[in-house]
Structure 1
């Protein structure tokens, strides 16, 4: 599924007009029987595990785990019916594989009592074309069986100002969104965000770029908002405030403390950490290994002071092997040849696109250093020690 998602995402470019009506807005939810997982699969579950392996190419371990949720199925007859239903309604093989990979329980859903009427209800609202609807259900198969799917789609459609592309993106990036109750789950969160000065457009951006925000409880969200406002001293209504909310929502409070301790282990003060975080909140989203490798390289062979990284934390967003190491190597060569003054400071050099780096740094210095380009290419390919 992970390999196919980028291909599907590129296809979410939609243009048809928007109009959802209440007609057929009630979903039917009946599964053929309980789909609860069992800790010790019965022999019947082996039938479904084999089916997942043979029909969908599941690895044995994944098939065994998924079959726990459909262990009560005594045969593959219903699963075949589900697959045939999806094929008849235009789902591609890759889409069907993605749906089953996301939630194998769809294979035990009753076609006549659940899938067919629910699919028809979604189609009858006149909002999505069949192709668009299939893309949405591929990313978010829970919509197939959720009894409140249409009212919740209607809510988000209106919130996102009838922008269908944004609506689909929101559900692609927030897999649990359809399961959150509007009155008790979503509305209090939106009200809280507005209390901190975020506009409806800001909140829409959070939904599209920071799905972790809406996965939080209201209490957790309020604590995070309060920390950003007080500890980081970021003004409400600022884009930095929203970016910080996106970044910190993705890592959690405990992990935030771990990241702070990590940066302080490099000799940073708490103020250094908070200053850097205000400049680029996304710096905490990387793994501990990733951050440690970059900081240690920059302070070591990169010749940077900690204060330089604090002032330019966005430098940590670049690849160590493909950007930082090769370009620092070139900068060290230029420095040893007294040519570094002609190309600017390290951060500006790191930020250059590949073409601009070649045009502004490599090619102008090849008269003095004929092998500079070959050396850089070898460094990018990790063919020389850096």
Structure 2
């Protein structure tokens, strides 16, 4: 299935039929077929020349915490510094930290020219009444430019009807604040209706919006294409990974898909293993290139695992090495050195298990006899490798195969 994309060494070659606009035989390959859809295309927009910055505005923005270089790029003139001060004071009144105020100003400098009481306060009251934290607006302050009566309130009401509760609305919006900029009648309603037409039940639509509210910004024709692509990949609506697969397929750019597939193949990942891993953990295609490289090098070179072992446990590519995997390896290394666990170990399942389970099984259980396990888990003892002769590690993949 992946072969038409990955057999050739240069990424540009598989794209030539698509760019030429001729007949493309890759539709027989489900994964390659994804490359033919328009929602993977991007168009570069040339930026016009920046106007000359206003020295007084630059000076004021620097006083707000922006660097001189960043302040000089803001194409806005602060007309009234007293009003701008009042806007910042209002944000603090509603719980914004100084860092959040600075971020808000950096992302939407025009906000400083707004009327704090007539324009901003009613919107801040609205979000405060729903329990939205300040960091939500600091992440996407452009929301405060939208009309409360004509956009924000109707959108929240619509989302409440789909998601079922204010708690769910708050969770979904805080995960993807920019989604609240989507137009209700041109984006949100048509997207939800498209999900229904393609057979997603009410509960699945709500879960999809909780996973990534940005799917409401996907055009309806692209939604149809994504459903078709996932079906050809072998993912069906009732499958556990379908909703996560839709989130990935509907938003991933064409060139990114090609690059990711090629990168996985460069580490010896077979077509079958990549497809199986995608079905289990679709978000492996959202992991950054550098993170993929770092993790594979760690698993293959340091832990001496096989590529098939890693792909059999795709969660291993989603977890942070520094925050999750390496501290757990350090704990296991200490326990192995002290003879507290067996020489043969199913390594990846131990590293990837629930944090509470891992702590109970490997940390608190031995903390009294081996205090170093606590230090290792806290990152105070760094993982230096297991050593070639200390023990034999069994992979989950090998265990299943046997």
Fold equivalence (TM over 0.5): yes
1:61 is aligned, of 54, 69, 75, to 69
Shift of 1:370: 7.5
Match of 1:175 in 2: 177
Aligned residues: 333
Q: Over residues 280-327 of structure 1, what are the superposed CA-to-partner deviations in whole Å (9 max), with x where a residue is unaligned?
A: 122222211211222232223323222222221112223324544455
1:108 equivalenced with 2:113 (yes/no): yes
Which residues of structure 2 form unaligned runs of 5+?
Answer: 1-46, 387-402
Q: Distance in 2 between matches of 1:99 and 1:169?
A: 20
Shift of 1:116: 4.1
Shift of 1:374: 9.1
Aligned 8 A contact 2:103 2:138 in 1: yes
Q: Distance in 2 between matches of 1:226 and 1:374?
A: 49
Going from structure 1 to structure 2, the CA distance change for 1:64 and 1:385 (only over 3 Å counts) comes to: farther
Which residues of structure 1 form unaligned runs of 5+?
Answer: 1-36
Q: Distance in 2 between matches of 1:238 and 1:306?
A: 25
Match of 2:264 in 1: 263
Aligned 8 A contact 1:330 1:376 in 2: yes
Shift of 1:80: 2.4
Work out which structure has the larger RCO, using CA pairs closer than 8 Å and 6 or more positions apart in sequence. Answer: 2
Q: Cα RMSD (Å) of the superposition?
A: 4.0
Going from structure 1 to structure 2, the CA distance change for 1:329 and 1:82 (only over 3 Å counts) comes to: closer
Match of 1:24 in 2: none
Aligned 8 A contact 1:212 1:249 in 2: no
Q: Distance in 1 between matches of 2:345 and 2:133?
A: 51
Q: Distance in 2 between matches of 1:379 and 1:156?
A: 42
Q: Distance in 2 between matches of 1:140 and 1:370?
A: 47
Shift of 1:273: 0.4
1:48 equivalenced with 2:53 (yes/no): no
1:39 is aligned, of 49, 73, 84, to 49
Match of 2:253 in 1: 252
Q: Over residues 255-281 of structure 1, what are the superposed CA-to-partner deviations in whole Å (9 max), with x where a residue is unaligned?
A: 122211111111122121000111112
Q: Please report the TM-score for the alignment, with normalisation by the length of structure 2.
A: 0.68
What is the 5 A alignment of 1:129-208? 132=131, 135=134, 138=138, 140-147=140-147, 148-149=150-151, 150-161=153-164, 163-208=165-210
